[in-house]
Structure 1
Amino acid sequence: MSFEPPIPFPRAGQAKPAPQVAFHRTELGPILSLYGRMVAAGEWRDYGISCLREVAVFSVFRRTAEHPLYRIEKRPKLRGRQGLYALIGADGQVLKRGHDLAGILQVLERKLIRAVK
């Protein structure tokens, strides 16, 4: 059995830990709205949210034990260049990238529209 000493709280003047990137409530609202509609349509069943140092990821799964069907990523470092948000498919291909979250989600909304017989 190994013993690890407790981690002390940072003192004044010490470097603070790097902040995590996370989705804001105004960003999660449209994402979860789309998720709810896709669950009601039977397309999606589970989701996961990861908040890391450089990226926040909302992953969508068809089944719990699978790889994600889609990932919605938020990368603040790309805000000035390619866009803050990205939609990535199951194979890792970037489907859409941009500055507007609604434009990214519109790609997934098209999959919700079906022809009625």
Structure 2
Amino acid sequence: MTRIGIAGLLAAIALAACGGSGNSQAGSTSSAPSISPSGPPAAATVRLADFSLDPMSVSVKQGDSILVVNAGKSPHNLWLRDASGHVLVKTPNLKPGDQTTLKLDLPPGSYVDYCQEPGHESLGMKGALTVR
């Protein structure tokens, strides 16, 4: 074998040794769920699914935080409106697996929590939130 042939063979072996573990998928990307800055623990967790909220009814104290988790396969968000329909609080759109924390500095009362994505509320992504 010539010197060039040996050098080529050694280069091929070296490149093969530097390869990955063999269990990665082509074209896949890894992204960690987004997490809001740390603070006091959430008083409740609301899971957004396709197409429901879990739980449908949440009761928290004024100033509490809730953790909002997109457990669905589509982008979702969580908006809160008062009895007159004014939107008071809203999350950004959350990709599947993402989460965020909402601090609820709202006066005591009853609110509607829902996904604002077109059609999602009418498909069942609507619940009740009570601040006491």
| TM-score, shorter chain, exceeding 0.5 | no
Q: Point out the structure with max Rg over C-alpha.
A: 2
TM tier relative to shorter chain: under 0.3
Return the structure number with greater relative CO, CA threshold 8 A, min gap 6.
2
TM-score by length of 2: 0.24
Structure with bigger helix share is 1
Structure with bigger strand share is 2
TM-score by length of 1: 0.26
